[in-house]
Amino acid sequence: MNRKSERRLRLLQALLAATAAAPACLVLWPIAPWAACLAVLALLIAAHRRMLLAPGTAILTYHSICDDAAWLPWSKDITVSRQTFAVHLQTLKAMAAPVLATRDYVAMRQRGEAIPRRAVVLHFDDGYFDNWCHAVPLLIEHGFPATFFVSLNFIEPGHSPRPREGLRQASPGYMSWAELRAIEAIPGLEVEPHGIDHARIAVPGAAVDRLTAENWRDHLWLQWAASPGPKHDWYTRPIAWAVPLGSAVPPSRLALASPGLSGQRTETQADLERRIRSTLERCGETFAHELGRAPRIFCWPENKCSAAGRSIASQMGYAATTGGKGRNAASEADSVLSRVHVPDRSLGFASPAAEALALRALIGAMHGNLYWYPVLLAMQFTRGAMRRIRPLKVGTTQRKPGARAKRPMEQTT
Listed residue (51, 10, 55) closest to 331, CA to CA: 55
Name which of 126 and 355 has its Cβ closer to Zn ion. 126
Q: Which stretch binds Zn ion (CB under 5 A): 124-132, 257-265, 278-286, 313-321?
A: 124-132
- Distances in Å between the Cα of 178 and the Cα atoms of 182, 183, 286 are 6, 9, 14
Look at phi and psi of residue 190 and say left if phi exceeds 0, alpha if psi is from -120 to 50, else beta.
Answer: beta
* Burial (0-12, 13-18, 19+ Cβ within 10 Å), 151: buried
Q: Which stretch binds Zn ion (CB under 5 A): 120-128, 169-177, 249-257, 384-392?
A: 120-128
* Least distance in angstroms from the C-beta of 124 to Zn ion: 10
Q: At what angle do helices 269-291 and 177-184 cross, to 10 degrees?
A: 70
Segment 251-280, which members bind Zn ion (CB under 5 A)?
A: none
Distance separating alpha carbons of residues 203 and 192, to the nearest angstrom? 29
* Least distance in angstroms from the C-beta of 413 to Zn ion: 6
Distance separating alpha carbons of residues 150 and 128, to the nearest angstrom? 8
* Least distance in angstroms from the C-beta of 353 to Zn ion: 30
Residue 51: CB partners within 8 Å, gap ≥ 6? 10, 11, 14, 369, 370, 371
Q: At residue 20, what is the residue type?
A: A
Name which of 78 and 379 has its Cβ closer to Zn ion. 78
Q: Which stretch binds Zn ion (CB under 5 A): 27-35, 119-127, 183-191, 404-412?
A: 119-127
- Residue 348 neighbours by CB distance under 10 Å: 22
- The β-bridge partners of 123 are 61, 147
126 binds Zn ion (CB under 5 A): yes
C-beta nearest to Zn ion: residue: 125
* Least distance in angstroms from the C-beta of 224 to Zn ion: 12
The answer to whether residues 339 and 303 touch, using CB atoms and an 8 Å cutoff, is yes
Name which of 295 and 348 has its Cβ closer to Zn ion. 295
* Least distance in angstroms from the C-beta of 200 to Zn ion: 12
190 binds Zn ion (CB under 5 A): no
125 binds Zn ion (CB under 5 A): yes
* Least distance in angstroms from the C-beta of 229 to Zn ion: 19
For residue 271, which phi and psi values (nearest 5 degrees)? -60, -45
Name which of 126 and 332 has its Cβ closer to Zn ion. 126
Q: Which stretch binds Zn ion (CB under 5 A): 75-83, 118-126, 155-163, 381-389?
A: 118-126
192 binds Zn ion (CB under 5 A): no
Name which of 126 and 130 has its Cβ closer to Zn ion. 126
* Least distance in angstroms from the C-beta of 2 to Zn ion: 20
Q: Is 381 helix (H, G, I), strand (E, B) or coil?
A: helix
Name which of 14 and 394 has its Cβ closer to Zn ion. 394
* Least distance in angstroms from the C-beta of 355 to Zn ion: 22
Name which of 78 and 189 has its Cβ closer to Zn ion. 78
Q: Which stretch binds Zn ion (CB under 5 A): 3-11, 106-114, 125-133, 319-327?
A: 125-133
- Distances in Å between the Cα of 221 and the Cα atoms of 18, 105, 367 are 49, 33, 35
Name which of 50 and 341 has its Cβ closer to Zn ion. 341
* Least distance in angstroms from the C-beta of 152 to Zn ion: 12
Distance separating alpha carbons of residues 290 and 130, to the nearest angstrom? 21
* Least distance in angstroms from the C-beta of 172 to Zn ion: 16
Which helix (H) or strand (E) is 79 found in, with range? none
Name which of 154 and 287 has its Cβ closer to Zn ion. 154
Within its chain, how far is the Cα of 42 from the centroid? Answer: 39
Q: Which stretch binds Zn ion (CB under 5 A): 117-125, 162-170, 182-190, 386-394?
A: 117-125
Number of residues counted as binding Zn ion (CB under 5 A): 2
The answer to whether residues 142 and 185 touch, using CB atoms and an 8 Å cutoff, is no
The 144-173 contact track toward Zn ion, x by CB under 5 A, reads ------------------------------
Distance separating alpha carbons of residues 3 and 328, to the nearest angstrom? 10
Within its chain, how far is the Cα of 174 from the centroid? Answer: 18
Distance separating alpha carbons of residues 306 and 323, to the nearest angstrom? 10
Name which of 145 and 195 has its Cβ closer to Zn ion. 195
Binding residues vs Zn ion (CB under 5 A): 125-126
